[in-house]
Structure 1
Amino acid sequence: MERFIARQPIFDWEKNIFGYQLLFRNSLDNYFSGCNLDEASSEVIANSFLLFSIEEMTDDSRAFLKATHHTIKSGYISALPPQAVVIEIMQPLVPDPELVIACGHLKAAGYTLALDDFIFDDNIESLLNYIDIVKFDTTSTSLEDCQDISDELHPRGIKLLATKVESYEAFHQLQNSGVDYFQGYFFSKPTVLSRKDIPANTMKYVQILQQVNAPEIDYEKLADTIQGEMSVAYKLLKLINSAAFGLPKPVHSIKQALALLGGKELRKWVSLISMTGMASDKPNQLVINSLARGKSCELLAPHVGMVSRAPDLFLMGLFSMLDGIIDRSLNDVLNDIPFEEDLKDALLGKPGHPRKVLDLVLAQEMGLWRVLGYIADSLRLKENTLQEIYIEALKWAEETFKA
């Protein structure tokens, strides 16, 4: 039986990765709705270490895994390494003495415990003695309530984790309200809605993106621009001389490197190098997510009848987080960069075949299994194909970023 996985990053106050929420399913249409939650919880724990590499899925940080009361009391958790996981105690939360004792044992063994969907309740007082983190939904918790939770729990050494953080504005407000960790897609949106000036060093990368994505590439002009930005020139030469290209002799000229790449592959690789340069002051995960999205879209191309446009789909996925990298809206950014019209439409949310591919990748990334199943059916994609692509894209993104 196939197993499916998605992961969502959890950031600390300084925007560093603290861990990943891991979500598992048996199939694309199994939403764990109305089924046995104890069984589902046990499968999540088993799949985390038996079917998938937990280190690969979490970049050697911590995995946040949901667990029911029965799963905790049964002792299944003790099979996991304490330093690698955060155990989320699921709702409904009506603690009994047996659950409290089990949590005490886990805490003594070095496990980090979290309460999911936290709400103040006198009934959980006995359990709070063993809790390290409480998670709360920002869509149902006001900033005032958030501050109250912080004032109550921080003196007890309990950290706060806000979920469904969807914008930088919300991120900053929650920072000021005492939140320690953040889960959501706020890094894929611009800091402000107003147009921001682009820093001079970033503008060089934008100029390269403009030139390399022009309908007709002026190789002479592009080579001159790249030579004026040493980081891009260095990485481009390092790329073309890597084992992946297997050239018989080293390449020392930017013009020669551009000529050897040629066309769509040139757009792909130079755009990738420029994007990573622009994101040098951003969280690593923002770049890795961009790379993984691009690679996923590229790998999907032959399965959705777009094999000749695989490099274009790579750029679509790569650019899907460009707003968070430049801190401007995608609409503004794409006005500055010549880009295929249907891909530009896809990035701006307009329907079409490319947008369907991007939606598929986003649904996989976020664990939106019903949406994923619906789109996959419409594209006649097999479930195991999607999973293989997702894992391969994540691995490629990590290796490429490290390189």
Structure 2
Amino acid sequence: MQISYIARQAILDRNHQTVGYELLFRDSPENKFPEIDQDIASSKLIIQNHFQGDIQSVSLGKLAFINFTEKCLINKYPLMFDKASIVIELVGHQSASDRLLKIVKYYHDKGYKVALTEYDLDEKWDVLFPYIAMIKIDIEITNAKRIRPVLDRIKPFNIKLIAEKVETNYQLQSLAEVGFNYYQGFFYHEPEIIEGQTLAPIKSQMLHLISETFNKPLDFDHIAEIIGHDVNLTLGLLKLVNNVATGARVEITSLKQAAAYLGEDKLKQFVTILALSKLTTNKTSEVSRQSLITAKLMAALATESAFIEVSDFAFITGLLSAIEVILSRPMDEILKTMPLAKPIVDALVNHSGLLGELLDLTINYITGNGENIQQLTDLYGLDANFIHKEFVHASNWCKSLGI
């Protein structure tokens, strides 16, 4: 079976909450837009993924922003989707022709959200305003300050503005002041380093808890001691025991007993997910979700390839891959507080070694931000179908956690 790849990029609001993901077709793990007709790209994305249920999985139940050319719109491809689940992105248009106006009005009347892309601020597009929900502006091409005259023209129609190519949090703050509502880019990958900042005790404790669960054998006494310092962790552990216990009533007399009752696998999952969620703020929730998907996908890829020799380290490496963004501190300083194996430290700090290559491959596959993925998949014997399947599985798993 032929499998298409999907590059995914989050779209966030002013509070750093994810409102959706733009899904882009790729025809190989190289994560570059293929040199094919845009109509074909949109068709492949829909046919090869939607009918398998992958698009909603990959978008984690959020809005899926999908590019549609005029031909795709005429062929009524968007009608294959629930109108509440997608945003129709108009691509490949040079002007607001009468035909395009008629098409956009058709989807608007059916309740679909339409986003105008490749917008150049020209008044020729104003005729579409009553029928569109969003406008995307590439801030690398258009100076954001030039949109001020547009704000009065779109205000009666409650159109939301999306800034593309946002690279830093400073840009996000400036764009919010100008009038943008949503943001798309890699700004949330960049840590904000504050001189002299130290980790709060609770955050340091959570890092110790995460690293502790990857020691062999598990020290249930130590884990129980750490959990016992936090009421929410304690309640979460006991609730999980109750969910796992079926049949006879389980009487828990200590946190150590509760931890041991769960067993290593369930305890590891519980501890790492709950600890990560306590480190996460509104600003870093998207980063947290990406870390979980990275961890799950890395662990899966390490079981089916030459990466198997680092399989024991794969999950925790992926989980901690964006910890510097979450904590706004340099990675090497954070890791000094955690008793991690050297391959994990080398992978996270320098992206070196076999584990570092697995980390790079996984992150670049998910975000569509890399050029050497094909070489790595060939080198380590990774099957394209397998990667795609496990990416969808990891996305579904993350969605089920409710983080």
Scaled by the length of structure 2, what TM-score is found?
0.85
Distance, in Å, in 2 between the alignment partners of 1:109 and 1:210 is 51
Residues 34-53 of structure 1 correspond to what in structure 2 (within 5 A)? Answer: 34-47=35-48, 49-53=50-54
Name the counterpart of 1:91.
92
Distance 1:135 1:385 in 2: 34
Q: CA deviation at 1:274?
A: 1.4
Deviation at 1:154, TM superposition (A): 3.8
Identify the residue that residue 69 of structure 2 maps to in structure 1: 68
Task: Report the equivalent of 2:6.
Answer: 5
Is the alpha carbon distance of 1:132 and 1:312 closer, same or farther for their aligned partners in structure 2, counting shifts above 3 Å?
same
Q: Which residue of structure 2 lines up, in the alignment, with residue 362 of structure 1? A: 363
Deviation (angstroms), 1:214: 7.3
In the TM superposition, what are the counterparts of 1:240-389 in structure 2 within 5 Å?
243=244, 252-257=253-258, 269-279=270-280, 284-307=285-308, 309-368=310-369, 370-389=371-390
SS of 1:164 mapped into structure 2? strand
CA shift in 2, pair 1:123/1:192, >3 Å: same
Which residue of 2 is the match for residue 25 of structure 1?
Answer: 26
Q: Does 1:144 align with 2:145?
A: yes
SS in 2 for 1:328: coil
Query: 2:393 matched to 1:392?
Result: yes
Task: Confirm or deny: 8 A CA contact 1:346 1:358 kept in the other structure.
Answer: yes
Native 8 Å contact 1:38 1:71 kept in 2: yes
Structure 1 unaligned blocks of 5 or more: none
The equivalences for 1:205-224 within 5 A come to 205-209=206-210, 220-224=221-225
Of the structure 1 ranges 392-401 and 366-375, higher mean CA displacement relative to structure 2 is found in 366-375
The amino acid across from 2:18 in the alignment is I
Q: Which moved more, 1:106-115 or 1:146-155?
A: 146-155
Distance 1:339 1:269, change over 3 A: farther
State whether residues 364 and 372 of structure 1, in contact with CA within 8 Å, keep that contact through their aligned partners in structure 2. yes
Call closer, same or farther: CA 1:147–1:247 in 2, change over 3 Å: farther
What TM-score, normalized to structure 1?
Answer: 0.85
C-alpha distance in structure 2 between counterparts of 1:228 and 1:30, whole Å: 44
Residues 124/48 of structure 1: CA separation in 2 closer, same or farther (3 Å cut): farther
Check the 8 A contact 1:264/1:311 in 2, yes or no.
no
Query: Which ranges in structure 2 are unaligned for 5 or more consecutive residues?
Result: none
In 1, Cα distance between equivalents of 2:129 and 2:135: 9
Distance 1:61 1:398 in 2: 10
In the alignment, residue 339 of structure 2 is paired with which amino acid?
Answer: P
CA separation in 1, counterparts of 2:243 and 2:59? 28
* Structure 1 residue 2, shift from structure 2 partner: 1.8
What CA distance in whole angstroms lies between the structure 1 residues aligned with 2:61 and 2:332? 36
| SS of residue matched to 1:93 | coil
Amino acid at match of 1:360: L
Task: Tell me, in whole angstroms, the C-alpha distance in 2 between the residues paired with 1:44 and 1:214.
Answer: 42
Whether the 8 Å CA contact 1:12–1:18 is kept in 2: the answer is: yes
Relative contact order, CA 8 A, sep 6+: which one is greater?
2
